[in-house]
Structure 1
């Protein structure tokens, strides 16, 4: 009996070691995969992957841009860049401020319809605007989304000719992968989201799923609140996370704007930037500045190419006005880090891919630069 008992013990120990080895191997694979993904997302974007032809632009078109919130850098800059791109074709763009809430988006969209434009672009969640969008469609007004749905591309269900954005699933994974790689598979992560936007939920769910796939990592909290309440919510939430979970801690957000209001709470608590690392998305100017300083908590952002996407919006409107299909173009995400913060437009605190997108669009429109 002793022999068999000893053998059984040895076998059990052996299986335990094998299981532990498999777990360690899986953890190593997760970290290696994350580090490889980070290197890819942070690499230069020199190749033009967009359209190489376009219909002849229609003259005299008018567009209204419904900005989700003019207090948000990204939302405001879309309007500025769309005006500049439209001017190349002799078009006019009018901007309406949606002031950060679904009720204001509805009233703003109705104002846009009243102007009788040829097209309306929205940086607001299309699902919350279905009544007004259907009214616009019935009046032959083309509606294009910028971050307006869960995924890029045409969306007949939401009555969008096309929705322009990077793939939020990739953005969410890029945020998680950076935390996994930086922590060597031991990241404890808070995830901030604003699920009044479909894109935000898709992005934050991808972050959560990727962190949960890392055996040594942990999702500490999944915090969902309206984006317009960030200034009021973030200080108290940040203090609460520090009290409940301690440090080290990684805090990810679907937008850099949230992080503006987390940093004062971290400073007041005397937390070292090495112990609380903030990971954002969109590529706000404040995010670039924090990453460049290197001691201001934010370590990375997944940046959107705002000017490129504004030019794409004008190009997609032209296709719609000519009864042509959307271009199918989706620009890959770009991870801004301390190592590459001054490249790909970073010296101007914006993501400007090195793929000559402006010249490509002007060329296919038949416009002299």
Structure 2
């Protein structure tokens, strides 16, 4: 049995040598000081797939901060939203959920119908929302990123880099830490439907705090993950995995190497990494094409972690954080809305007026409101005294 297994492994290794060498982007960042601990092709153009939804969520967070919407704002599934390919929430046309519940479904389930419904709610249309996404990318300095849709379903012009995804993720955490529990949630239930995250680190690698997975044939399997463990705050980006196993194990390997002191700062921060430009790699032939089976077998031979009878980095048993969303029911046109209550007449004199806080008080210093919004760069955390 052992001899046979070695022969199979040798065959797979020979297959690996015959396959074209694909530069799989990998990036490991110390979130405490933004130092790059490991980078491989981190500036190469890549299709983001559902990692797009990190930006979708960020745009919503900005609008929440501005007060243009609230977490209770209803998000309704239009016919366009309902018609999106999987993954989907399972909600019917005209069904509504709160914006808070929609964000949880967007992030955990990666539901494409919810992404479009959110875009229509915030921007009035998905096209206008995409303009907002690209405006944020410009203000963040994501020079290798361009969005065409809000969900990440494949479009040749939808492109990003590992570097840009890391910077975007840092902005989410530093600007809107109150929403980070959404990214660490592993399960969302709505009615009898149970939706689970594809981020295997959430239940297999202690200290994982998020963030998002993504997959289309042209991108392979992508992951942005964050870990707080052993006094370290780390972020990993893995793009182009041949399987969920490979994607999750490679991210965990990056974290283990950092936690065990096997990697050191490269002398660059994530902000000084350069994007390379050019056309994004198309993984479709290797992931979904006629060469897919051979390619996946070769990748398994080159990186067998997590395969049956092989060691794994995902050795922990972590209880998944769960969230319950509520279907608010179906909303139809031409139905009279509830009438507002009569105006309140106070019985006692009103107290002295108090001015509302400016938007700058809601966002972090350096971020101004609406059209003039300027996003300061992510900041290293202060050194411990």
TM category (shorter chain) comes to under 0.3
Q: Bigger relative contact order, structure 1 or 2, given CA contacts below 8 A and separation 6+? A: 2
State the TM-score, normalizing by the size of structure 1.
0.24
